[in-house]
Structure 1
């Protein structure tokens, strides 16, 4: 698998879920349990549900195809914290590249009670069983809008979602982005989101950040795939 950064633009994403015998969790059960205890200390909202990890991603003519499998969230977190020891597995998730009508982007700052406290990126989440359809397909488009609603309080009436997908592949991270544009400026959108966060009982975000150009890329708090996306996006202007 190519470990460099690759960015693809496609009009279609197809995703499915297939069984996989992932041996790494069975071989590292003690570490997983200890890691989960450490991770959840003082964070009662974290729970060990089932999520979907990527076992394969391929590209065809104007299409990206993803194959997922089910794992425990604790296994997934331990795999990350251990440094991604299984190179054949990836974290593939849908993400809304939220921006204002002025073209400036809006990222969230993850709250203290979350797994990635203090990290800055667009609203997103690892796909879970709620994204899995009876025919075995994974609905990434709905995953994107759901995460936007949960983290920012924005509904689908508040923005426009582009049809095109931008796939940022920085293995073992595969971010499947769609541009999400508000009818108001980034400043106005940020103010609306802050008001929504303030009204939530257990907000996932503690704040938002506006990204207008390369000077706003925070290398300390933004994941590498997002830094790559912003570098690419600002080069397109």
Structure 2
């Protein structure tokens, strides 16, 4: 596990074959068919995975390929065996006026049911603009879809907190609010109540280490420890 700050992301779309998806196609198809049988709401869209990256000074540079969600979900479920890619995604760390952090609890119909983490999502082709992959745009979209909040309601900290957990790289954008955690949560829950099938089942408030839960992935705990230690 590593955590560090970068000033900017310089990411591009550079398509190349993903051998894992090609060589294990039949296994992937069988796995995903069973997953869809268990969770019919899951569909096989298109997503982006990082196949090259480097850190140069204050910049995190990298290139993405496009693949299908079925291959990505199988790779993730099978423990992310070495496959020449990373799941590099943007995430929103919402910090309330009282310094608490708000996380989402994933709904039962989702692939990550019950897990507790930031509003986020694996980037997809909608995040490609003129050949560049914009994780900032991904964060804006996921924040609105999952919580109902617009990014203009927050003070956006410059740069990104990068947390790497194996082949999972979270690019975390820190968003600070003038509202308390309780007020933010109430507004987000109103949004969830209006949704026909919200991605989140609940909003969870973390005020310190006593609020850590096993359902939080290690990269989330790493960010929380960094945040509260810094405070």
TM-score by length of 1: 0.94
Q: Secondary structure at the match of 2:132?
A: coil
Residue 151 (structure 2) pairs with residue 156 (structure 1) = yes
Aligned residues: 231
Question: Of 194, 209, 219, which aligns to 1:225?
Answer: 219
Residue 59 (structure 2) pairs with residue 47 (structure 1) = no
Aligned to 2:228: 234
Quote how far apart the aligned CAs of 1:31 are. Answer: 1.5
Superposition pairs of residues 66-215 of structure 1, within 5 angstroms: 66-133=62-129, 135-215=130-210
- Paired with 1:131 and 1:60, the residues of 2 have a C-alpha distance of 23
Check conservation: 2:88, 2:169, Cα contact below 8 A.
Answer: yes
Q: Which aligned segments of 4 or more residues in structure 1 are displaced greater than 3 angstroms?
A: none
1:61-89: per-residue Cα shift (whole Å, max 9, x none)? 11111211101000000001111122531
Report the aligned-residue RMSD.
Answer: 1.2
Aligned to 1:27: 23
Quote how far apart the aligned CAs of 1:174 are. Answer: 0.3
Structure 1: stretches of 5+ with no match in the other structure: none
Structure 2: stretches of 5+ with no match in the other structure: none
1:106-127: per-residue Cα shift (whole Å, max 9, x none)? 0000001111010000100000
Question: Of 9, 15, 25, which aligns to 1:13?
Answer: 9
- Indicate the larger mover: 92-101 or 151-160: 151-160
- Paired with 2:29 and 2:43, the residues of 1 have a C-alpha distance of 13
Q: Secondary structure at the match of 2:113?
A: coil
Check conservation: 1:24, 1:86, Cα contact below 8 A.
Answer: no
Check conservation: 2:20, 2:83, Cα contact below 8 A.
Answer: no
TM-score by length of 2: 0.96
- Paired with 1:194 and 1:137, the residues of 2 have a C-alpha distance of 34
